[in-house]
Amino acid sequence: MTATFERGINSFKEVLDAPIASFFASCVHCGLCAESCLFYTETGDPQYTPVHKLEPLRRTWFQEYTLLGKLAKAAGLSKSVTDAELAAWEPLVYDSCTMCGRCSMVCPVGNDLTYAIRKMREGMAAAGHAPEGLVTATTRAIVAGSPAGVKWVTVQAQIKHMEKQFGIEIPVNQAHVDYLVLMSSWEILNYPEYLGAVSRIFKQAGATWTLSEHAYEATNSGIQIGVSDLARELVGRIVKAAEDLEVKCVISPECGHAYTAIRWEGPNLMGRSFGFEVKHILEVIDELHASGRIKLKGTLDKPQTYHDPCQISRRGGVYEQPRKLLKEIAPQFREMKDTGTMNWCCGGGGGVGANERAEPLKLISFKRKKAQIEELGVDTLVTACANCRVTIEEALEHYHMDVEMLGLTELVADHLEENPS
């Protein structure tokens, strides 16, 4: 369907609900959300104040759904949202917001601004004001099956590579297994060791699992750009594969928005609950470890810290599991000052990483994470999101920082006891 301004405004009207209305009605313009947003703290530019990013959506609500707003509009005291205004807001809604949710934890009146930004993107995309990079990634995801254009043959090549490296067969299209494992584009292209790590962990745990050639990609650009129809199409592929194979659980990879897409938005996009569970890989590893199905040995003997991926920790609730695992294998683990559900974003989530135009701003915003790393004095950073990992690795290179990045799943696999009793 062609994007038009009218469609955008209609979409704004459709997404406005009681929670968003209560947020707009309660805002006291205190500006504290700015102090929680790394795009403001690292630039000092007030336009990056989170609630300001929602202004066109707020005015639509005011004029359409409040008596005072209708009167103000009729009297010419409240100007209507224009297409030019939406165009001007595009960099605020996409380039300078990773939907990390930190502002939602800070607002004194309780506004979940991230919830509103996610909804506002629906209207922005419908009006044709989404960044080119995200539009291209979403188109590739629909047409080719992956936002990075990764095809099944690429996955097959990585499967062979990992099977050769670790000597463990990687099952494909197996029905009636415990787990359907998904990957993100970055894991397929940059970190195939993740797949090898999963195969090693499941081998020791004795868990049955599979990949699916019809649903290997977990990244959901539809969520990031804000087009629910496309997000539904992408989630639907995973749901169909999981149901066709009759698996018990679908595992979201080390990717933040993928987890949000399949775990929290998935059932709502599909309009029904799933007949299978959805878990993040860290939840599964923690369960296997807690039940004694995997045993760990050895330690990572250097100071290191954990970067909480926003969608997994603050917006996903998986923040204790990585710490329990790290406690076992990393005695020199140090917490950052702001951590867990109050962590600072890497700066590349929410589609910012796929938006070339946002690159300079993304690097500036990384100064917050840079300061956190330098304050701790660690030289190793562990995380559980491939997108965070790519963002941070690129920024570390840019700032000439000698810090090693590790994926937690791989780290766990590297510390598996070889012959557990």
Partner 1 sequence: MSALELLTWARGPGLALALAAGLFGIVLRVFEIQALGRKGDLATARTITPGSGWRTILSRSLPPPGMFQRAPLTYAGGYVFHVGLAIAVFGFAPHIELIRGLFGVRWPGLPNLFVDAATVATIAAMLAVLAGRLMDPVKRLLSGFGDWLAWTLTFVPLLTGYAAFHHMSENYTLLLALHILSVELLLAFLPFTKLFHVVGLFMARWYNGDIAAKKGVAA
Q: Which residues are near partner 1 by CB under 8 A?
A: 16-23, 25-32, 34-36, 40-41, 46-47, 49, 51-52, 65-68, 104-112, 115, 263-268, 270-273, 277, 314-319, 337-338, 341-342
What minimum distance in Å lies between the beta carbon of 41 and partner 1? Answer: 8
Nearer to partner 1, 102 or 415 (CB): 102
238 CB contacts (<8 Å, ≥6 apart)? Answer: 180, 182, 215, 218, 250, 262, 266
What minimum distance in Å lies between the beta carbon of 339 and partner 1? Answer: 10
93 and 117 in contact (C-beta within 8 Å)? Answer: yes
Residue 333's CB is within 10 A of a number of other CB atoms, namely 20
Bridge partners of residue 270, in order along the sequence = none
Q: Name the maximum alpha-carbon separation found in the chain.
A: 79
What minimum distance in Å lies between the beta carbon of 301 and partner 1? Answer: 30
Nearer to partner 1, 104 or 221 (CB): 104
What minimum distance in Å lies between the beta carbon of 375 and partner 1? Answer: 13
Nearer to partner 1, 50 or 131 (CB): 50
What minimum distance in Å lies between the beta carbon of 248 and partner 1? Answer: 14
Nearer to partner 1, 17 or 356 (CB): 17
What minimum distance in Å lies between the beta carbon of 21 and partner 1? Answer: 4
* 39/46 Cα distance (integer angstroms): 9
How many CA atoms, within 13 angstroms, populate the side-chain half-sphere of residue 224? Answer: 36
* 35/46 Cα distance (integer angstroms): 10
What minimum distance in Å lies between the beta carbon of 377 and partner 1? Answer: 19
The tokens for 73 are 């509009």
Three-class secondary structure of residue 103 per DSSP:
helix
* 93/131 Cα distance (integer angstroms): 10
239 and 277 in contact (C-beta within 8 Å)? Answer: no
Nearer to partner 1, 20 or 392 (CB): 20
What minimum distance in Å lies between the beta carbon of 114 and partner 1? Answer: 9
Nearer to partner 1, 111 or 210 (CB): 111
DSSP 161-224: HHHHHH-----BS-SS-SEEE-B-HHHHHT-THHHHHHHHHHHHHT--EEB-TTS-B---HHHH
Nearer to partner 1, 315 or 389 (CB): 315
Nearer to partner 1, 314 or 370 (CB): 314
Nearer to partner 1, 58 or 129 (CB): 58
What minimum distance in Å lies between the beta carbon of 266 and partner 1? Answer: 7
* 227/126 Cα distance (integer angstroms): 8
Distance, C-alpha 183 to centroid of its chain: 13
289 and 325 in contact (C-beta within 8 Å)? Answer: yes
